[in-house]
Chain A
Amino acid sequence: MKFRYLPVTEQDKKEMMDEIGVNSVEELFSDIPEKVRFKGEMDLKEALSEPGILKELGRMASKNANSGDYTSFLGAGVYEHYIPSVVDHIISRSEFYTAYTPYQPEISQGELQAIFEFQTMISELTGMELANSSMYDGPTALSEAAMMSAGQTKKKTILVSKAVHPEAREVIKTNAKGQNLTVVEIEIEEGVTNIDDLSQKYDDNTACVVVQYPNFFGNVENLAEIEKIAHSKKGLFVVSSNPLSLGVLQPPGKFGADIVVGDAQPFGISAQFGGPHCGFFATTKKLMRKVPGRLVGQTTDDQGQRGFVLTLQAREQHIRRDKATSNICSNQALNALAASVAMSALGKKGIKEMALQNIQKANYAKKAFINKGFTVAFSKNAIFNEFVIKFSRPVQEVNEMLLQKGIIGGYDLGRDFSEFDNHMTIAVTELRSKEEIDHLVLALEGVK
Chain B
Amino acid sequence: MNNQPLIFELSKPGRISYSLPSLDVTETDLNELLPNDLIRDEAPELPEVSELQLIRHYTALSNRNHGVDSGFYPLGSCTMKYNPKINEDIARLKGFTHIHPYQSEETVQGALELLYDLQTSLEEITGMDEVTLQPAAGAHGEWTGLMLIRAFHEANGDFQRTKVICPDSAHGTNPASATVAGFDTITVRSNEKGLVDLEHLREVVGEDTAALMLTNPNTLGLFEENIVEMAEIIHNAGGKIYYDGANSNAILGIARPGDMGFDVVHLNLHKTFTGPHGGGGPGSGPVGVKKDLIPYLPKPVIAKDGDRYFFDYDRPESIGRVKPYYGNFGINVRAYTYIRTMGPDGLRQVSEDAVLNANYMFRRLQPYFDAPYTQHCKHEFVLSGKRQKKLGVRTLDMAKRLLDFGYHPPTIYFPLNVEECLMIEPTETETKETLDEFIDVMIQIAKEAEENPEVVQEAPHHTVIGRLDETTAARKPILRYEKS
Contacts and interface: CB of A to CB of B under 8 A. Distances in A.
A8 B359 CA distance: 14
B146 to A, nearest CB: 8
A133 B89 CA distance: 27
Contacts, number: 693
A324 B176 contact: yes
B349 A3 contact: yes
B306 interface: no
Given A326-B180, A329-B139, A67 B344 contact: no
Contacts of A78: 100-102, 325
Interface string A10-32: 00110111011110010111111
B392 interface: no
A86 B428 contact: no
26 contacts: A20-B356, A29-B223, A30-B376, A45-B340, A62-B110, A66-B94, A72-B100, A74-B103, A97-B67, A97-B276, A99-B277, A100-B80, A100-B279, A136-B282, A171-B320, A177-B147, A249-B39, A251-B40, A272-B96, A273-B329, A296-B479, A302-B467, A331-B281, A334-B281, A349-B48, A411-B102
B206 interface: no
B45 A111 contact: no
Contacts of A1: 345-346, 349
Contacts of A80: 98, 100
Size category of the A interface is 35 or more
Nearest to B59: A93
Interface stretch (A118-126, A154-162, A198-206, A226-234): A118-126
A156 to B, nearest CB: 13
B441 interface: no
Nearest to B362: A20
A92 B89 CA distance: 10
Interface string A122-149: 0111000111011011111000000100
A50 B340 CA distance: 10
B156 interface: no
Given A64-B99, A94-B67, A107-B66, A171 B321 contact: yes
B8 A120 contact: yes
Contact of B363 (A19, A56, A86): A19
Interface string A65-90: 11111001010111010101010111
Size category of the B interface is 35 or more
B160 interface: no
B108 interface: yes
A286 interface: no
Q: Which 7 A-B pairs have the closest CB atoms?
A: A274-B325, A61-B95, A47-B343, A63-B110, A334-B278, A274-B101, A110-B65
Contacts of A36: 227-228, 255-256, 259-261
Given A100-B279, A111-B280, 4 more contacts: A67-B99, A80-B98, A317-B175, A348-B43
Which of B30, B121, B136, B222 has the most A CB atoms < 10 Å from its CB? B136
A140 B38 contact: no
B80 to A, nearest CB: 6
B484 interface: no
A419 interface: no
Contacts of A273: 96, 99-101, 108, 111, 325-326, 329-330
A100 B75 contact: yes
A5 B342 CA distance: 9
Interface stretch (A187-195, A335-343, A439-447): A335-343
A361 B100 CA distance: 21
Contact of B48 (A19, A348, A403): A348
B242 to A, nearest CB: 14
B172 A324 contact: yes
Interface in B14-33: 15-21, 23-28, 30, 33
Interface string A298-338: 11111101111101111011111111101111111111010
Given A354-B20, A363-B33, A16 B432 contact: yes
Which of B103, B227, B344 has the most A CB atoms < 10 Å from its CB? B103
A343 B46 contact: yes
A354 B344 CA distance: 48
A31 B54 CA distance: 54
B325 A61 contact: no
Nearest to A77: B324
B236 interface: no
B324 A274 contact: yes
A408 interface: yes
A276 B331 contact: yes
A167 interface: yes
Given A86-B55, A117-B6, A345-B17, A319 B172 contact: yes
Contacts of B256: 36, 38
Given A27-B376, A66-B99, A274-B326, A99 B65 contact: yes
B353 interface: yes
Nearest to A37: B255
A101 B271 CA distance: 13
A181 to B, nearest CB: 10
Contacts of A348: 13, 43-48
B64 interface: yes
B74 to A, nearest CB: 11
Interface stretch (B383-391, B443-451, B468-476): B468-476
B394 interface: no
A356 B480 contact: no
A341 B54 contact: yes
Contacts of B26: 364
B67 A65 contact: no
Interface in A343-388: 343-354, 356-357, 359-361, 363-364, 382
Which of B24, B222, B281, B356 has the most A CB atoms < 10 Å from its CB? B281
Nearest to A50: B86
Given A98-B276, A273-B99, A356-B30, A312 B477 contact: yes
Nearest to A117: B7
Given A109-B464, A298-B473, A332-B281, A360 B319 contact: no
A220 interface: yes
A179 interface: yes
A31 B65 contact: no
